[in-house]
Amino acid sequence: MLKHTLTALALATGLTATSLAAADYPEHNIQGIIQWGAGGATDNVARSLTPHVEEALGTKIILNNRPGGTGVIGMNAVMHKRPDGYTVLYGAENPQLYPIMGLADFTYADMQPINVIAQGLVVIAAPADSPFDSFQDLLDYAHQHPDELRMGDTGAGGLPSTLLAMINAVDSLEVRSVTFGGDGPGITAMLGDHIDFMPLSLAAAKEQIKAGRLKGLAVFTREPVESLPNIPPITQALPDIAAYLPWGPFWAVAVRKDTPDAVVDTLSDAYAKGVANEQFQRFLSDNSAKSLNLRGEEAEQFLKRWQSVTAWALEKAGSAKVSPESVGIPKP
Amino acid sequence: MGDTLSFFLMSWLDPSLLMLTAAGTLAGIYVGAIPGLSVTMATSILISFTFSWDVNDALALIVGIYTGGVYGGSRTAILLNIPGAPSSVATAFDGYPLAQQGEAGRAIGLSTVMSVIGGLLGTLVLASVAPYLSDMALEFAPRDYFLIAALGLLLVGSLAAESLSRGIFAAALGAVIGLVGLDPVTADPRFTLGSMQLMGGIHYVVVMIGMFGVAEAFFQLHQLDATPVRQKVDKILPSLSLVLKFLPLSIRTSLIGVIVGALPGTGGDIASLFAYDHAKRTVKKPSKPFGEGAYEGLVAPETANNAAVGGAYVPMLTLGMPGDAVTAIIIGALTIHGLNPGPMLMIETPYIFWFTVGNLVLANLFLLLFGLTGIKLFAKVVELPKAILIPLILVLCVVGTYSLNGSMTEVYWMLGFGLLGYFMKVYRFQMGPVILGVILGPLMDTSYRQAMASVGNDSAAFVSGLFTHPLSLVLTLAVLFLLLGHSPLKRLLRREKAA
Amino acid sequence: MPHRPPLKAGERAFNLLLLLLSGGVFYEAYRISGFELPNSAGAFPLLLGAIMIVTMLSILLGQRHHSRPAAGGALGELRQFLATHFPLPVVLFSLLAVGYLLALPALGFIAATALFLLITQLCLRRGHWVSAVLVTVLITAVIYALFTLLFQVYLP
């Protein structure tokens, strides 16, 4: 206990040299901050991955949800901790869009990515008794009756609005967007027929579609998805959207930018091992997510590409609050 | 039938499941009792623990924590006027006065028995009509949630004891606090004053801990030298006749609890406030006036919040949709364990339903056991010298707030709300309406805007929607009845003239 | 004519402060999205701001005829306000609480909490220093064990 107090004192007075700490990292528990709330997709990914990482790292990672502001709050918290590798961020795709949505002026580029874990698939779902049988039907109806269909949304910078923007970049789909607190409340509203359709992460909608409670109108891919082969790919209705594919939300782990290289290496090794774990891989495939397990240079490239594709699609559809050009996002 | 019974008894007969349920319930009571440590947090921490366990073990532990946690919040509410969780806010209204009159032991005993009754009734409803209840819950459109929030805000009329304008002011202030942060629809910052910290909003537990806990600690400083109230600890168990007397009320409030709990947008916190209001309206001759230690004011919220647990499981088990934050985490746990929570859950893994029902009943029995032991010791807390109690309360408030999010800024906010709460208390503002506003304000804002967006921002269509859909019509009439019938407005005019 | 209790010291000032706050809320609400559409981000906040202003005005109007709490003008009222609502223990405790919060990140949880508990107890009940030390050690240990070891909460 005395040692603990002394460490705290030393930290407080700024005596601890980060280089010293890096030598035998990790010396104590690590704090993991999840930028979305408990029970959501990011939370589930973080919590099922972490035990495997703890094993590889030989220390505990204490997870903490810091939701709010489309994830800005959690990310901001990590960026204000010491860059010693004792605070890691579990994030989703949203930070890549903060600058163009005017939410914050930082992205993953302002952090040190440790691992890009996996990418999710997206499905456009409708209530089981919906008059539409395919996305083409829905699009045709919307062309004749603009601004009449009710789309479930999760707010600016969320998955449905991003997807809508991508569709609007190649076609036109005018809808009333009804905002919910996340996938769950949106699906519930759809089950009660209170909205007409909603783009969802497949992980969230799969069970409802299998049970016939919801109808899948299109999957956001070029080819049909293995687990739900009857749902046509979006390219059937919108061939032009292929330019943006493959696209989907993703999950990543990152630490502060100035974290010592040795610590970054240790963490990257541990997370790579954790993601590769058989049990976690099964979790991903059960949830129709594609394992990526990218680190270092590869991870950075993936993040850049995702950002430029999505940001420019938003810009083209007129939904970007700030032009990607002005914040230095190159064209894809 | 044979299957049903064996699934039901699974957790009763397997020693390890039995132990885990017991351990969970006991731990839940303390997690729930400590402000800032929430059931949501405890279950989400447990998920990583139980990752390598059998899924039934994990479920049994979580059921225990959930049942114990919802109840545990009443402990600190009664003893220290700090609700351990938002669903115990209403418990403090009459529970704390009782403790101040030397009846802390009795209050805890009564709230334990009532919690168990509520929990069992909630489970009964879950077991008997879950599919129907979940279909009904799906019928609630955004405009109906708007009406529920409106109904809830009208409770100010019964929470504000002294002056209705003060109550309305406090509720509006609470709603403003609840809205702080990025707007969930447009991501516009609201009341953030340019601060990055405030973009995430102010957690309502921060407000609750500050306004109840710290404000109370400041208040107590005035009576530093007063000898603490001697606690009567002889009659802790409520007599059978007392329980029978409250049975009709507790059945009604349990029903309120289970229905509000089953709605995916509302939970035990709102249920217990509705129940308190219901008791206040329907019980003509309470044991003592409401707000001064009426047993009825303890019975209603305690039955309702535990009944809401059964309610929250309804959409989770039938549809795979969470009824609240805790069931959302359970869904995550099932996913991690390779089960597929969804509408097929009851078909693919049929045992889960009756296993959970049996487990809930078991957890409630453990609750009765653990809840009734050690009361004498707890009641003594109130007898601690103020000079020990007050610093202890503050430390608990600080630690509790910090453990919410690990943020020191929130601790400062908590202290700020404590000071504001102290002054509001001094100048005869009530804390209840503030919390009511914090909880219901955001619900009202989002559901109103969802409803407006659904009809294409057409105000006329919005208003006509309130009268044309059967469910909405019922709720609208209820709102109008409350507004005009018991007319808080009328009272407002009368009160202010007389004051 | 109904009985009118005298106002508490500082009550009118406090209510005026709250009125000011309400005005601030209304202004901030206006800044969100002006007086746009009926379902803009600022619509509900504007309504709340208006409600706060109206109710607070009605409270202030209701108190218009109440007698002032103390003779001796504003200064006398201030003195009475301090005496009734800010007696020495409250002031002391507030200062200690703020000090505690400042000390937390600097000294760490255990040291800061122990110090705070010890000092407050010594200040609030002079003399009993043996029991104060015992209680301090006990509470700090229990809370630390409960939170850090059992619930794995990350304390400062």
B185–chain C Cβ distance below 8 A for any pair? yes
Mean pLDDT of C96-107: 89
Tell if the CB–CB gap between A12 and C152 is shorter than 8 Å: no
Determine the Cα–Cα distance for residues A231 and B345; give it in Å rounded to an integer.
22
If one compares B369 and A156, the residue with the highest pLDDT of the two is B369
Question: What pLDDT band is residue B205 in, cutting at 50, 70 and 90?
Answer: confident
Q: Is the pLDDT of residue B346 over 90?
A: no
pLDDT at A21: 47
Reported as a single tens digit per residue, the pLDDT across B241-251 is 989 999 999 99
On average, the pLDDT of chain A sits at 86
Q: Which residue from A9, A31, A62 is facing C108, i.e. has the nearest CB?
A: A9
Q: Is the pLDDT of residue A121 over 50?
A: yes
Residue B227 corresponds to which tokens in the numbers above?
A: 């000898």
Q: Is the pLDDT of residue A18 over 50?
A: no
Which residues 99-128 on chain C approach chain B with CB closer than 8 angstroms?
Answer: 100-101, 104-105, 109, 113, 116-117, 120-121, 124-125, 128
Q: Is the pLDDT of residue B270 over 60?
A: yes
Per DSSP, C66 falls in state S
C18–chain A Cβ distance below 8 A for any pair? no
Which amino acid makes up residue B495? Answer: R
B196–chain A Cβ distance below 8 A for any pair? yes
Tell if the CB–CB gap between B173 and C52 is shorter than 8 Å: yes
How close C151 gets to chain A, by Cα (Å)?
A: 10
Q: Which residues contact B427 (CB under 8 A, 6 or more apart)?
A: C8, C10, C11, C14, C15
A6–chain C Cβ distance below 8 A for any pair? no
Reported as a single tens digit per residue, the pLDDT across B215-225 is 888 888 887 77
Q: Which residue from A48, A69, A194 is facing B181, i.e. has the nearest CB?
A: A69
Q: What percent of chain C has pLDDT over 70?
A: 84
Task: Tell me which of A94-103, A124-133, B469-478, C76-85 is least confident.
Answer: C76-85
Cβ-based contacts under 8 A for chains A and C? 25
Question: What pLDDT band is residue C8 in, cutting at 50, 70 and 90?
Answer: confident
Per-domain boundaries in chain C: 11-85, 88-150
B329–chain A Cβ distance below 8 A for any pair? yes
Minimal Cα distance from A11: which residue of C? Answer: C106
How close C72 gets to chain B, by Cα (Å)?
A: 21
Which amino acid makes up residue B422? Answer: Y
Per DSSP, C37 falls in state -
Picking from B282, B280, B327, B303, the residue whose alpha carbon sits closest to that of residue B47 is B327
Reported as a single tens digit per residue, the pLDDT across C54-98 is 999 998 988 877 666 555 667 777 777 777 777 888 888 889 999
pLDDT at B361: 96
User: Best mutation site among C8, C18, C54, C113 for testing chain B: the one with the most B CBs within 10 Å?
Assistant: C18
- Residues of chain C positioned with their CB less than 8 A from the CB of B441: 44, 48
Q: Which subunits have 3 or more CB–CB pairs within 8 Å of chain A? A: B, C
Per-domain boundaries in chain A: 2-119+248-327, 122-244
Question: What pLDDT band is residue B40 in, cutting at 50, 70 and 90?
Answer: confident
Geometric angle at alpha carbon B204, from B215 and C36, rounded to 5°: 120
Picking from B87, B138, B486, the residue whose alpha carbon sits closest to that of residue B300 is B87
Tell if the CB–CB gap between A73 and B186 is shorter than 8 Å: no
CATH code for the domain defined by A122-244 = 3.40.190.10
C59–chain B Cβ distance below 8 A for any pair? yes
pLDDT at A13: 42
- Residues of chain C positioned with their CB less than 8 A from the CB of A29: 154
Minimal Cα distance from C153: which residue of A? Answer: A62
Question: What pLDDT band is residue B188 in, cutting at 50, 70 and 90?
Answer: confident
The residue count of chain A comes to 332
With helix as H, strand as E and coil as C, how does chain B read?
A: CHHHHHHHCHHHHCHHHHHHHHHHHHHHHHHHHCCCCCHHHHHHHHHHHHHHCCHHHHHHHHHHHHHHHHHHHHHHHHHHCCCCCHHHHHHHHHHHHHHHCCCHHHHHHHHHHHHHHHHHHHHHHHHHHHHHHHHHHHHCCHHHHHHHHHHHHCCHHHHCCCCHHHHHHHHHHHHHHHHCEECCCCCCEECCCCCCHHHHCCCHHHHHHHHHHHHHHHHHHHHCCCCCCCCCCCCCCCCHHHHHHHHHHHHHHHHHHHHHHHCCCCCHHHHHHHHHHHHHHHCCCCCCCCCCCCCHHHHHHHHHHHHHHHHHHHHHHHHCCCCCHHHHHHHHHHHHCCCCCCCCHHHHCCHHHHHHHHHHHHHHHHHHHHHHCCHHHHHHHCCCCHHHHHHHHHHHHHHHHHHHHCCHHHHHHHHHHHHHHHHHHHCCCCCHHHHHHHHHHHHHHHHHHHHHHHCCCCHHHHHHHHHHCHHHHHHHHHHHHHHHHCCHHHHHHHHHHHC
Reported as a single tens digit per residue, the pLDDT across B369-428 is 999 987 888 888 778 888 888 888 898 888 888 877 777 888 999 999 999 999 998 888
Q: Is the pLDDT of residue A14 over 80?
A: no
The residue count of chain C comes to 156
Determine the Cα–Cα distance for residues A136 and A138; give it in Å rounded to an integer.
5
**Sheet of A214-219: strands edge to edge?**
A198-201, A122-127, A214-219
Reported as a single tens digit per residue, the pLDDT across A240-286 is 998 888 889 999 999 999 999 999 999 999 999 999 999 899 989 88
Q: Which residues contact B238 (CB under 8 A, 6 or more apart)?
A: B106, B109, B110, B113
Tell if the CB–CB gap between A5 and C108 is shorter than 8 Å: yes
With helix as H, strand as E and coil as C, how does chain A read?
A: CHHHHHHHHHHHCCCCCHHHHHHCCCCCCEEEEECCCCCCHHHHHHHHHHHHHHHHHCCCEEEEECCCHHHHHHHHHHHCCCCCCCEEEEECCHHHHHHHHCCCCCCHHHEEEEEEEEEECEEEEEECCCCCCCHHHHHHHHHHCCCCCEEEECCCCCHHHHHHHHHHHHCCCCCEEEECCCHHHHHHHHHCCCCCEEEEEHHHHHHHHHCCCEEEEEECCCCCECCECCCCEHHHCCHHHHHHCCCCCEEEEEEECCCCHHHHHHHHHHHHHHHHCHHHHHHHHHCCEEEEEECHHHHHHHHHHHHHHHHHHHHHCCCCCCCHHHHCCCCC
Determine the Cα–Cα distance for residues A317 and A326; give it in Å rounded to an integer.
17
pLDDT at C40: 83
Determine the Cα–Cα distance for residues B18 and B8; give it in Å rounded to an integer.
13
User: Residue A225's beta-bridge partner residues?
Assistant: A228
Task: Tell me which of A64-73, A227-236, B53-62, B446-455 is least confident.
Answer: A64-73
B406–chain A Cβ distance below 8 A for any pair? yes
Residue B80 corresponds to which tokens in the numbers above?
A: 């220290």
Minimal Cα distance from C108: which residue of A? Answer: A8
How close A62 gets to chain C, by Cα (Å)?
A: 7
Do residues B197 and B409 lie in contact, with contact meaning Cβ atoms separated by under 8 Å? yes
Mean pLDDT of B109-133: 94
Residue B37 corresponds to which tokens in the numbers above?
A: 């440590």
pLDDT at C5: 61
The SS3 call for residue C9 is coil
- Residues of chain A positioned with their CB less than 8 A from the CB of B335: 44, 283, 286-287
Q: Which residue from C59, C85, C93 is facing B426, i.e. has the nearest CB?
A: C85
Question: What pLDDT band is residue A12 in, cutting at 50, 70 and 90?
Answer: very low
Q: What percent of chain C has pLDDT over 90?
A: 22
pLDDT at A118: 95
Per-domain boundaries in chain B: 2-498
- Residues of chain C positioned with their CB less than 8 A from the CB of B492: 58
Tell if the CB–CB gap between C111 and A4 is shorter than 8 Å: no
Per DSSP, C86 falls in state S
| Percentages of chain C per state (helix, strand, coil), in multiples of 5 | 75, 0, 25
Place of tokens 């746990």: B333
Q: Is the pLDDT of residue A301 over 90?
A: yes
C37–chain A Cβ distance below 8 A for any pair? no
Tell me the torsion sign for CA atoms A214, A215, A220, A223.
Answer: positive
pLDDT at A243: 85
Determine the Cα–Cα distance for residues B389 and A81; give it in Å rounded to an integer.
34
Question: What pLDDT band is residue A129 in, cutting at 50, 70 and 90?
Answer: very high
Reported as a single tens digit per residue, the pLDDT across B156-175 is 877 766 678 888 999 999 99
Q: Which residue from C108, C153, C154 is facing A8, i.e. has the nearest CB?
A: C108
Tell if the CB–CB gap between A9 and C107 is shorter than 8 Å: yes
Residue B453 corresponds to which tokens in the numbers above?
A: 């967006």
If one compares A24 and A242, the residue with the highest pLDDT of the two is A242
User: A2-119+248-327, superfamily in CATH?
Assistant: Bordetella uptake gene, domain 1 (3.40.190.150)
Picking from B9, B100, B101, B37, the residue whose alpha carbon sits closest to that of residue B396 is B37
Mean pLDDT of A174-200: 90
Q: Which residues contact B437 (CB under 8 A, 6 or more apart)?
A: B153, B170, B171, B172, B173, B174, B175, B176, B177, B178
Reported as a single tens digit per residue, the pLDDT across B46-85 is 766 676 778 888 889 999 999 999 999 999 899 988 888 8
Q: What is the ipTM of this complex?
A: 0.88
pLDDT at B259: 93
- Residues of chain A positioned with their CB less than 8 A from the CB of C110: 1, 4-5
Determine the Cα–Cα distance for residues B161 and B164; give it in Å rounded to an integer.
8
